[in-house]
């Protein structure tokens, strides 16, 4: 299988198939964003909206706080996240890195070499 870039999308070519599959970079960014917010301790993507409102908005809103670089068969992801207060930042970030890497590789077939995380803020619970 050969992979190459085509205008913010990766094109998967297989000589035995009847066509090609294109995966837009925004799709890879959305996968990364959703995987990251599934981890307990991650409040939201920085600049993103809460999970309750996700279904009511477009795809562009879901990819805020995520930068994806796809080169050949390699994906590099930069995430800006807001953490919940009281969670261990290094342990939570390691879980996010593992979850995002796994989700991208399983869903797209691309390899993910880097998942870089920037903590953009800490969300204080309102009941405290």
What pLDDT digit, counting tens, does each position of 76-106 carry? 999 999 999 999 999 999 999 999 999 999 9
For residue 2, what is the DSSP state? E
**Above 50 in pLDDT, residue 1?**
no
C-alpha–C-alpha distance, residues 87 and 81, integer Å: 13
| pLDDT greater than 80 at residue 25 | yes
List the domains of the chain with CATH numbers: 25-123 (3.30.70.1350)
pLDDT, average across residues 33-53: 76
Q: What is the mean pLDDT of residues 20-30?
A: 86
For 23, 59, 68, the CA distances from 6, given in Å and listed in that order, are 10, 20, 14
Are the CB atoms for 92 and 42 separated by under 8 Å? yes
For a pLDDT cut of 90, what percent of the chain falls above it?
Answer: 53
Q: How far apart are CA 68 and CA 116, in angstroms?
A: 10
Q: What is the pTM of this model?
A: 0.79
DSSP secondary structure, 47-100, as one string: T---GGGGGGS-HHHHTTTEEEEEETTEEEEEEEEEEETTS-HHHHHHHHHHHH
Mean pLDDT score across all residues of the chain: 82
60 or 86: whose pLDDT is higher?
86
Residues 48 and 64: beta-carbon distance below 8 Å: yes
- Let me know: does 36 contact 51? Beta carbons within 8 Å: no
Please report, rounded to a whole number, the percentage of residues in the chain having pLDDT higher than 70.
Answer: 76
């Amino acid at each position: 299988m050969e992979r190459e870039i085509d205008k913010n999308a990766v094109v998967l070519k297989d000589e035995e198939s009847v066509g090609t599959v294109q995966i837009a970079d925004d799709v890879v960014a959305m996968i990364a964003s959703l995987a990251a917010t599934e981890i307990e301790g991650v409040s939201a993507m920085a600049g993103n909206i809460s999970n309750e409102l996700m279904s009511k908005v477009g795809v562009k809103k879901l990819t805020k706080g995520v930068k994806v670089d796809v080169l050949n068969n390699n994906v590099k992801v930069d995430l800006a996240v807001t953490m919940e207060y009281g969670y261990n930042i290094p342990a939570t970030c390691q879980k996010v890195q593992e979850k995002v890497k796994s989700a991208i590789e399983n869903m797209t077939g691309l390899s993910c070499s880097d998942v870089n995380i920037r903590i953009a803020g800490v969300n204080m619970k309102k009941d405290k």
